């Protein structure tokens, strides 16, 4: 038998009260002079033994009444047969919902605190022979206890130290993870309890697949399914709006143009709400915008012209609702003053018809004037010089253009492949010098860098083709074009091009002669574009028409954008700071200063950490893994400007609408999970499962029976 | 005179005032008798026999029913039997004055009731020219007044009654045996007692009276509380006839007490019934004058 309120067992001491009263209480006798003593004596002789027994019995009954009431108040539960399965040692797995919605509510009454209290109550019920495993359900599940723990004090301490999370919670995955953790326990039974606020965002009860996956994992481990979900959402209706997305419309921003941003706001309140959107750039408020938000998703746009190049943080904040934590979102942007481009040409010369890159360099530098260097900084080199360039040399460029280059050496191929993998952009234009066999060595299907296998050259034979850019496929690469409809460049004549066989994953962004003209393929962090005709006037007259400038600028801009380092990182992912890149991107940094040994990381809450720099593959790097807290992470290092990283909350945990539970507990459809809405209901469900019975009522009835017996006996004794 | 004049409350010892009041017992008896018995044409108490005196010669006019037919047949002479009618009934009151008779839960103790019965019935008998005697007893005979039919004797009797106090234990059976031996001629024996003695011994003593052809009237005086034993609180019972004390919770004892009490009464009643003894149970909270009057009327109708 176990008592849920054991401190009330002190009440059983009241059972001694009748005995103490009996011992201490000397009755005050009335004096009576009496004649009929012979009859009294006869009665005493007849009844004395019976009376003594009755008095003892009365005292016993009174003590039992008090003891039984005290025991009943202590909420005793008995495992139906210490006997059956209920008595077997059990591993209790407690899964804490780490989603940020658990922060909702007053600090002392938020959902996470309720979950902690429920966990402590469960731990209090754990017996000596039981153990427990604590699991955190975040973006990725992780163990709070490295193994099954028997020590209840240690478990309590661990639970008490928990703080609400900043993530979304993948509950099914956390349950699945528990199957692995259960391997560390050898006890015959287990029970999994998920402590959550029961939001739709974290409980995908309608997503059958995730639950089937979870069940499959359980079945694979041949574990019985004892899973309970204790869902305790706040009682009152929730008014929540969330900034669920903030992004720059273009991945590469510069100081020459207004940078457009897109904000997505979700209103989960179920009603129209007024709100105010505040836009900050680098902690300075630049705009305040009143909004009226109907239920559902809203999109807002704004632009900002950055005056300086470098790392910037753009933050939007929504004011006033029940869950402030999801009202703010930050995007870190890298604003460039110039985009360094390396143009490698197969043929060099001052005549545009003899040079493969001169027209392209002019197109990229178009717009520059006196006092205005333009966006692109183009460095032209002959193909013969490219073989001597190192990986560090290539890091100075955001995009490399290979115009009619015959071939590259094996070493250059390796460096070029690594360059693209690290986020570089590569544009390959063909021509008469081009050796398709040599270049095809870079095509290794999905694993290779080239978007297509290059076959044979095709000539128009006097019937030149017109390039067509199909609607939608041109993507951001051709952002200047209207990509909502098919665009045919009628003035352009293509005389020759290479037939190609696109590899898996390649995107055909333009066609000519019903064959691909422009193919784009993402290769790790970077991208490669293949232009199947010449970039100059050799095989087509594109360079002679006005569309050439915007087309090439946009294409090179797009490819350069890939170089943007991952400065907007997902929660929990490691922040990687590259001092080398910071130095490379900053035009003011010259002469390659000596890298520092440490850098300073300022966390969103203002705390600072010193990070030690390490060198890997010629880059000077620092790492920080604890990126759960949303906000701006600023890295400062000697010799280079600060770099800003942004971490934002996942958008799927902002929906605070609770999963509705019908009745005290509900079996989740498609999943072996029993959902309950209160600790009492959970305990009752567990008792139902384990055969544990609450015998408090029985004891109370027993006490009443004793009381009735006492009254009858007292009445009989009193005659 | 109102009965309240003899009120003793819960006290069992008569104080001077009460004693003075009891000196007027005669008046009390007179009041009771005059109030309830006057107008009765026959006495409730009759003599036992008519004793033969002598013969005399028959003279005309004599009632033939007194003619001695045996002599007429044997000697052919007519003689009339002459009788000496014994009009003087001898009545002996036996009043129990043991300590238990002093118990009073209400206005009167059992002894008070005994005094009233004695005085009243004595007055009545004396008015019939009967002789009355008095014996008070506890552990032994305390006082014995032989039967007389004079007013002066009645005065002594009431004085003696007033002077009696409840004390000592009870050996009623022994006392009755002594009295049975002491009264030679047939007499009316009026016993007034709570009979708190061994019921079998009392039965034997009553048999003794019956054996000697005495008529016995037994007034069994009882207190209401002795009958009901309705104590609620823990009580220390101190024996009125000794040093015995019992501190008990009376409630659980009530049934057993009443059963013992009833057994005692049953034995007494059965003995009285078997020996044709007139048994009257008098409870102290009943109006004694009405109770006596009712008894006397019933007795007269027999």
CA dihedral A182, A184, A189, A192 (to 10 degrees): -30
B112 touching chain A per CB within 8 A: no
pLDDT of A26 reads 74
B248 touching chain A per CB within 8 A: yes
pLDDT of A224 reads 66
Nearest CA in chain A to B261: A39
The mean of the pLDDT values for chain B is 79
Q: In A, what residues contact B, Cβ < 8 A?
A: 27-44, 46-47, 50-51, 54, 717-719
Closest CA to A569 of A330, A398, A335, A314: A330
Rounded Cα distance, A470 and A507, in Å: 11
Question: Which residue ranges make up each domain of chain B?
Answer: 15-42+87-301, 50-85
Asked whether the beta carbons of residue A719 and residue B239 sit closer than 8 angstroms, the reply is: no
**Non-local CB neighbours of A481 within 8 Å, separated by 6+ positions:** A469, A474, A487, A550, A551, A554
Confidence bin at A567 (pLDDT 50/70/90): confident
- B55: β partners: B81
- List C-alpha distances in Å: A610 to A519, A571, A600: 45, 20, 5
Helix (H) or strand (E) holding A281: strand A273-281
Rounded Cα distance, B195 and B208, in Å: 16
Distance from CA of A686 to the nearest CA of B (A): 52
Range name among A224-228, A695-699, B211-215, B228-232 with the lowest pLDDT average:
A224-228
What is the DSSP track for A507-568?
EEEEEETTEEEEEEEEETTEEEEEESS-SSTTTBSGGGSTTHHHHHHHHHHHHHHTT----E
Rounded Cα distance, A120 and A609, in Å: 34
CB B90 within 8 A of CB B133: yes
Q: Which of B239, B242, B262 to mutate to test the interface with A (most CBs of A within 10 A)?
A: B239
Looking at 3.40.50.300, 3.30.70.1150, 2.60.40.10, 2.40.160.20, the CATH number of the domain A241-335 comes to 2.60.40.10
Range name among A128-142, A642-656, A696-710, B279-293 with the lowest pLDDT average:
A642-656
- A571: β partners: none
What is the DSSP track for A15-62?
GGHHHHHHHH----PEEEEES-HHHHHHHHHHHHHHHHHHHHHHHHHH
Span A670-717, pLDDT tens digits: 677 788 877 777 777 776 666 666 788 888 899 899 999 988 888 877
Residues of B in contact with A53 (CB under 8 A): none
Residues of A in contact with B240 (CB under 8 A): 33-35, 37
Residues of A in contact with B110 (CB under 8 A): 35
Asked whether the beta carbons of residue B237 and residue A37 sit closer than 8 angstroms, the reply is: yes
The mean of the pLDDT values for chain A is 83
Distance from CA of A719 to the nearest CA of B (A): 5
Distance from CA of B253 to the nearest CA of A (A): 6
Stretch 85-104 of chain B: residues touching chain A, C-beta under 8 Å: 99-103
**Non-local CB neighbours of A101 within 8 Å, separated by 6+ positions:** A111, A197, A199, A201, A202, A323, A326, A653, A654, A656
What is the phi-psi region of residue A705: left when phi exceeds 0, alpha when psi lies from -120 to 50, beta otherwise? alpha
Closest CA to B146 of B134, B155, B156, B128: B134
Confidence bin at A157 (pLDDT 50/70/90): very high
Rounded Cα distance, B114 and B98, in Å: 12
Out of A31, A34, A46, name the one closest to residue B239 (CB): A34
Residues listed for chain A: 719
Q: For residues B208 and B45, which has the higher predicted lDDT (pLDDT)?
A: B208
Rounded Cα distance, A7 and A310, in Å: 64
Residue extent(s) of CATH 3.40.50.410 domains in chain A = 85-236+656-690
Q: How many CB atoms lie within 10 A of CB A645?
A: 24
Percent of chain A with pLDDT over 90: 24
Range name among A405-414, B110-119, B260-269, B293-302 with the lowest pLDDT average:
B293-302
What is the phi-psi region of residue A513: left when phi exceeds 0, alpha when psi lies from -120 to 50, beta otherwise? left
pLDDT of A219 reads 77
Nearest CA in chain B to A44: B253
Angle between helices A679-690 and A111-125 (to 10 degrees): 30
Asked whether the beta carbons of residue A34 and residue B253 sit closer than 8 angstroms, the reply is: no
- List C-alpha distances in Å: A688 to A401, A674, A682, A685: 71, 12, 10, 5
Span A335-372, pLDDT tens digits: 888 888 999 999 988 888 888 999 999 899 886 655 66
A:B CB pairs within 8 Å: 106
SS3 A120: helix
SS3 B269: helix
Closest CA to B96 of B9, B174, B6, B191: B191
Nearest CA in chain A to B260: A39
Out of A34, A36, A719, name the one closest to residue B255 (CB): A719
Rounded Cα distance, A689 and A226, in Å: 8
Distance from CA of B221 to the nearest CA of A (A): 12
Would you identify the CATH topology of the domain A568-647? Answer: Immunoglobulin-like (2.60.40)
Asked whether the beta carbons of residue B226 and residue A717 sit closer than 8 angstroms, the reply is: no
Asked whether the beta carbons of residue A37 and residue B239 sit closer than 8 angstroms, the reply is: yes
pLDDT of A106 reads 62
Out of A27, A29, A38, name the one closest to residue B196 (CB): A38
Rounded Cα distance, A42 and A44, in Å: 5
Residue A55 half-sphere exposure toward CB, CA atoms < 13 A: 15
- pLDDT over 90 (residue B192): yes
- pLDDT over 70 (residue A386): yes
Closest CA to A348 of A278, A414, A405: A405
Residue extent(s) of CATH 3.40.50.880 domains in chain A = 339-561
Distance from CA of A665 to the nearest CA of B (A): 56
pLDDT of B49 reads 45
Asked whether the beta carbons of residue A35 and residue B240 sit closer than 8 angstroms, the reply is: yes
Rounded Cα distance, B107 and B117, in Å: 16
Distance from CA of B251 to the nearest CA of A (A): 4
Residue extent(s) of CATH 2.60.40.10 domains in chain A = 241-335
Nearest CA in chain B to A38: B196
Closest CA to A36 of B230, B65, B239, B78: B239
Burial (CB count <10 Å: 0-12, 13-18, 19+), residue A361: buried
Rounded Cα distance, B132 and B154, in Å: 8
pTM of the complete model: 0.49
Span A466-501, pLDDT tens digits: 988 876 655 555 654 544 567 778 889 999 999 999
Angle between helices B250-274 and A37-73 (to 10 degrees): 150
Range name among A109-123, A226-240, A440-454 with the lowest pLDDT average:
A226-240
Looking at 3.30.1540.20, 3.30.70.100, 3.40.50.300, 3.40.50.410, the CATH number of the domain B15-42+87-301 comes to 3.40.50.410
pLDDT of B20 reads 43
pLDDT of A535 reads 92
Six token digits for residue A421: 């993998």
Looking at 3.40.50.410, 3.50.50.60, 3.30.499.10, 3.10.450.50, the CATH number of the domain A85-236+656-690 comes to 3.40.50.410
Rounded Cα distance, B167 and B18, in Å: 17
Out of A35, A42, A46, name the one closest to residue B103 (CB): A35
Asked whether the beta carbons of residue B237 and residue A32 sit closer than 8 angstroms, the reply is: yes
Mean pLDDT of the A113-137 span? 88
Rounded Cα distance, A180 and A244, in Å: 33
Out of A31, A38, A47, name the one closest to residue B253 (CB): A47
Residue B17 DSSP one-character state: H
- pLDDT over 80 (residue A667): no
Rounded Cα distance, B4 and B21, in Å: 10
Residues of A in contact with B234 (CB under 8 A): 27-30
Span A290-319, pLDDT tens digits: 999 888 889 999 999 998 888 899 999 988
- pLDDT over 80 (residue A374): no
Would you identify the CATH topology of the domain A339-561? Answer: Rossmann fold (3.40.50)
pLDDT of A234 reads 66
pLDDT of A603 reads 94
Rounded Cα distance, A189 and A175, in Å: 16
pLDDT of A690 reads 62
Residue listed under structure tokens 């001169």: A358
Rounded Cα distance, B216 and B194, in Å: 16
Rounded Cα distance, A81 and A62, in Å: 30
Rounded Cα distance, A511 and A471, in Å: 11
């Amino acid at each position: 038998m176990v008592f849920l309120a054991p401190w009330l067992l002190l009440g059983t001491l009241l059972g001694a009260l009748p005995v103490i009263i009996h011992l201490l209480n000397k009755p005050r006798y009335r004096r009576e002079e009496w004649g009929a003593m012979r009859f009294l004596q006869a009665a005493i002789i007849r009844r004395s033994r019976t009376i003594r027994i009755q008095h003892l019995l009365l005292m016993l009954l009174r003590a039992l009444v008090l003891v039984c009431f005290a025991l009943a108040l202590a909420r005793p539960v008995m495992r139906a047969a210490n006997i059956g399965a209920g008595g077997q040692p059990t591993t209790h797995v407690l899964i804490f919902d780490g989603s940020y919605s658990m922060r909702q509510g007053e600090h002392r009454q938020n959902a996470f605190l309720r979950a902690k209290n429920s966990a402590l109550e469960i731990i209090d019920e754990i017996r000596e022979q039981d153990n427990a495993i604590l699991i955190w359900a975040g973006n990725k599940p992780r163990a709070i206890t490295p193994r099954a723990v028997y020590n209840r004090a240690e478990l309590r301490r661990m639970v008490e130290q928990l703080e609400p999370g900043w993530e979304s919670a993948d509950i099914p995955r956390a349950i699945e993870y528990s199957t692995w953790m259960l391997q560390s326990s050898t006890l015959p039974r287990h029970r999994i309890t998920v402590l959550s606020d029961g939001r739709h965002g974290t409980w995908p009860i309608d997503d059958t697949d995730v639950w089937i996956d979870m069940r499959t994992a359980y079945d694979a481990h041949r574990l019985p399914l004892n899973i309970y979900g204790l869902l305790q959402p706040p009682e009152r209706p929730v008014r929540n709006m969330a900034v669920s997305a903030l992004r720059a419309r273009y991945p590469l921003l510069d100081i020459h143009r207004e940078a457009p941003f897109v904000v997505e706001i979700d209103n989960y309140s179920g009603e129209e709400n007024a709100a105010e959107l505040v836009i900050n750039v680098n902690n300075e408020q630049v705009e305040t915008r009143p909004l009226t938000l109907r239920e559902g998703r809203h999109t807002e746009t704004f632009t900002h012209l950055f005056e300086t190049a470098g790392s910037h943080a753009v933050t939007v904040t929504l004011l006033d609702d029940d869950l402030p934590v999801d009202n703010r979102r930050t995007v870190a942007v890298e604003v460039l003053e110039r985009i360094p481009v390396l143009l490698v040409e197969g043929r060099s010369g001052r005549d545009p018809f003899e040079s493969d890159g001169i027209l392209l360099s002019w197109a990229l530098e178009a717009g520059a004037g006196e006092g205005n260097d333009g966006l692109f900084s183009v460095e032209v080199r002959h193909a013969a010089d490219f073989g001597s360039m190192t990986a560090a040399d290539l890091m100075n460029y955001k995009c490399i253009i290979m115009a009619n280059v015959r071939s590259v050496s094996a070493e250059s191929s390796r460096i070029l492949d690594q360059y693209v993998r690290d986020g570089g952009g590569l544009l390959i234009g063909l021509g008469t010098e081009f050796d398709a066999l040599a270049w095809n060595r870079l095509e290794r299907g999905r694993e290779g860098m080239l978007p297509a296998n290059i076959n044979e050259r095709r000539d128009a034979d006097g019937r030149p083709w017109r390039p067509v850019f199909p609607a939608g496929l041109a993507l951001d690469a051709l952002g200047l074009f209207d990509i909502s409809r098919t665009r045919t460049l009628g003035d352009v004549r293509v005389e020759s091009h290479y037939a190609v066989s696109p590899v898996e994953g390649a995107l055909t962004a333009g066609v000519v002669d019903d064959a691909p003209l422009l193919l784009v393929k993402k290769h790790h962090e970077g991208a490669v574009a293949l232009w199947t005709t010449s970039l100059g006037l050799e095989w087509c007259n594109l360079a002679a028409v006005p569309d050439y400038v915007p087309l090439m600028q946009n294409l090179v801009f797009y490819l350069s954008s890939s170089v943007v380092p991952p400065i907007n990182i997902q929660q929990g992912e490691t922040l990687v700071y590259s001092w080398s890149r910071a130095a490379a991107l900053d035009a003011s940094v010259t002469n390659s200063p000596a890298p520092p040994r440490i850098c300073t990381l300022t966390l969103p809450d203002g705390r600072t950490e010193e990070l030690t720099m390490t060198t890997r593959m010629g880059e000077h790097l620092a790492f920080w893994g604890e990126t759960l807290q949303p906000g701006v992470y600023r890295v400062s290092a000697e010799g280079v400007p600060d770099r800003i990283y942004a971490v934002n909350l996942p958008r799927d945990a902002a929906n605070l609408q609770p999963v509705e539970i019908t009745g005290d507990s509900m079996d989740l459809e498609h999943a072996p999970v029993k959902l309950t809405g209160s600790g009492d209901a959970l305990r009752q469900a567990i008792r139902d499962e384990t055969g544990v019975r609450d015998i408090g009522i029985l004891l109370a009835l027993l006490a009443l029976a004793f009381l009735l017996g006492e009254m009858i006996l007292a009445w009989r004794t009193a005659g | 005179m109102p009965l309240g004049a003899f009120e003793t409350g819960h006290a069992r010892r008569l104080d001077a005032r009460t004693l003075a009041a009891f000196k007027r017992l005669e008046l009390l008896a007179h009041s009771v008798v005059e109030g309830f018995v006057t107008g009765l044409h026959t006495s409730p108490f009759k003599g036992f026999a008519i004793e033969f005196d002598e013969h005399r010669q028959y003279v005309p006019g004599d009632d033939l029913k007194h003619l001695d037919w045996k002599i007429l047949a044997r000697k052919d002479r007519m003689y009339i039997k002459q009788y000496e009618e014994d009009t003087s009934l001898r009545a002996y009151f036996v009043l129990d004055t043991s300590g238990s008779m002093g118990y009073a839960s209400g206005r009167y103790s059992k002894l008070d009731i005994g005094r009233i019965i004695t005085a009243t019935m004595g007055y009545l008998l004396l008015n019939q020219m009967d002789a009355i005697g008095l014996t008070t007893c506890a552990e032994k005979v305390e006082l014995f007044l032989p039967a007389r039919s004079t007013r002066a004797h009645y005065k002594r009797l009431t004085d003696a009654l007033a002077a009696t106090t409840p004390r000592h234990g009870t050996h009623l059976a022994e006392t009755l045996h002594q009295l049975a031996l002491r009264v030679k001629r047939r007499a009316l024996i009026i016993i007034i007692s709570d009979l708190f003695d061994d019921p079998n011994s009392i039965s034997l003593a009553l048999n003794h009276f019956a054996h000697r052809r005495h008529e016995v009237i037994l007034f069994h005086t009882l207190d209401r509380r002795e009958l009901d034993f309705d104590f609620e609180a823990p009580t220390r019972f101190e024996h009125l006839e000794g040093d015995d004390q019992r501190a008990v919770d009376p409630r659980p004892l009530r049934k057993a007490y009443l059963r013992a009490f009833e057994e005692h009464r049953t034995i007494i009643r059965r003995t009285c019934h078997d020996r044709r003894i007139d048994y009257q149970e008098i409870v102290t909270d009943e109006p004694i004058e009405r109770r006596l009057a009712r008894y006397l009327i019933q007795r007269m109708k027999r």
